Amino acid sequence: MDLLKVLVQKGKLTQKQVKEINEKVIETGQQAEELIIADKLIPESDLFQIKSEVLDLPLIAEVPKSISSEILSLIPRDSAEHYNLIPIGRKDDLVEIGMVYPHDIQAREALKFLSRRSGFEYSLFLISPSVFRGILDKYQTAEREVKEALESLEGELERERGELSLKGDVSEAERTMEQAPVIKMVAVILREAVEGKASDVHIEPMQDRLRVRFRLDGMLHSSLFLPLKVHAAVISRLKILSHLKIDETRVPQDGRFSTRFQNRRIDFRISTLPTTQGEKAAIRVLDPEQGFAEIGKLGALPEQEAILKEAIKMPFGMILATGPTGSGKTTTLYSLLRLLNREEANVVTLEDPVEYFIEGVNQSQIRPEINYSFIRGLRQLVRQDPDVIMVGEIRDDETASLAIHAALTGHIILSTLHTNNAVGVIPRLIDMGVDPFLVGPTLRLAIAQRLVRRLCPHCKKKVVATDSQRELIQKNYQSLPAHLQKKYTLPDPLYIYQPVGCESCNFSGYKGRLGVFEVLKMTERLADVLLKSASEEKVSEEAKQQQMITMRQSGLIRVVEGITSIEEVIRTTTES
């Protein structure tokens, strides 16, 4: 249907105005929408909302907060400007293209040509002229636009200049630091990581450019592409800030530095690695706002949260968190540690490395290069009159033995272990040489966890579950304890939510993460079972008897609640 006719039908324009507009279109070659906006006949937002309905195209009403330079590079600026079309994001395998005039045949043909040349498929969105101009401004290079936004970080990073004590080539360091564009480029990357809530930054040399990727909600995304010629200077700048040897490129190095951002301290942990293309840098962003979460905000179900809080009230015993790297174990332990950190308690930790600094806690970092290991450190810690000890990881038989005996002698021990689930913790301890009769009196809790992405609350889509999805959910709900089946009822029809993607979540469909847990509690009955058989099968049977909620069940409860997607739960958990 013709837009002008619809505007007349809706009472937005008169027939006389339409006639005048059509005459001007012929006379000037301008689009009708341009003339309507220029003459202020209809507000731009109202005009394009109606146009969206007429064309049946989704409308992007605001300039997206961030668009990567990789996406912008798919369509040259001059082509974007000429045809009033522009890339705005990526969803799955489709590049999302915003067009001001989707009905323009020449623009559609140009887009087909550009997509074939660059090898991408696309989906169309409608954008207004003002949104188009806002996105077009990002062609001033995403790097420069971000740099300008990060000027406030520059002063903090520059202050490091006077504190350096370099072991490498000082003259080379001075030359690197004098390169103001490189200094700002590093500031750009770090500030963007903090503002975007990235957990990690990867700076990777490729054959023809330098790639910068951010890990957001557990997934790596390309954010910036820089000229390869700045690679050495960027890596050197990071080394200078982290007090590393800038002339040593053959072996990996580790370091860290801190700065303040919005009245809070942010730590950056740097790790360099020599590769065939040159040195790569991985940066862990340690933001206390992200790392310190209250127990109730971790994602545990209320029943699991109650067990956690009950366990830390006990005067001694061991609480072990288990799961793969990146599953949130450390965050969970820090949350428990904050509850245990009281004036009357001596809280000490042994970590590799110290991730977050906690006021009032005595934190110690192991240093293998000087033989200060978990074993040696733990022996020393028990002489420090501790009430609570957190050990970063139980890696070997001797550390396990020391931790068990520390728990037996009246200490609360927090640590991590690598097993697939909570019931695997007990067999793992026994494999590490711990006697089964000692596990019962010392182990209080085994916590297994995974992280799933939260659905974006602004764009998630409510749909009826498919037969297979419903079958999976029902199967797991039926094995829940009877009182939980009553609490977490399944509606009929069963609705779940799917990711869609919008500006708020950078078109990913997800925003933030939460944990899904299983919490195995040591009971008298379980302790008796261990004296007879400590196999995973027997422990698993007892876990069912004590009505333990599995990670898969926890995740599917969150699916029914509309917090995450069923795909996320299947991706991160397994059937028990």
- The domain spans of the chain are 1-45, 142-287, 292-572
Which pLDDT value is given to residue 178?
Answer: 43
- Fold that domain 292-572 belongs to in CATH: Rossmann fold (3.40.50)
Which pLDDT value is given to residue 203?
Answer: 95
DSSP state of 371: T
Q: Determine if the peptide bond prior to 353 is cis (ω within 30°).
A: yes
The 10s digit of each residue's pLDDT in 77-110 is 778 888 899 998 888 778 999 999 998 888 888 8
265: Cβ contacts below 8 Å, ≥ 6 apart: 258, 259, 288, 357
The 10s digit of each residue's pLDDT in 440-459 is 999 999 999 999 999 999 88
Q: Is pLDDT at 312 greater than 50 in this prediction?
A: yes
Pairing of strands 412-417, 388-391: parallel
Mean pLDDT of the region 345-349: 93
CATH architecture entry for 142-287: 2-Layer Sandwich (3.30)
Environment class of residue 44 by beta-carbon count within 10 Å: exposed (0-12), middle (13-18) or buried (19+)?
middle
Looking up tokens 């958990």 gives 573
Q: Give the span between the Cα atoms of 437 and 455, in whole angstroms.
A: 45
The 10s digit of each residue's pLDDT in 321-339 is 999 888 888 889 988 998 8
- Mean residue pLDDT of the chain comes to 85
Mean pLDDT of the region 525-538: 84
The 10s digit of each residue's pLDDT in 3-61 is 888 888 889 889 999 888 888 888 887 888 888 888 889 988 889 999 988 888 999 98
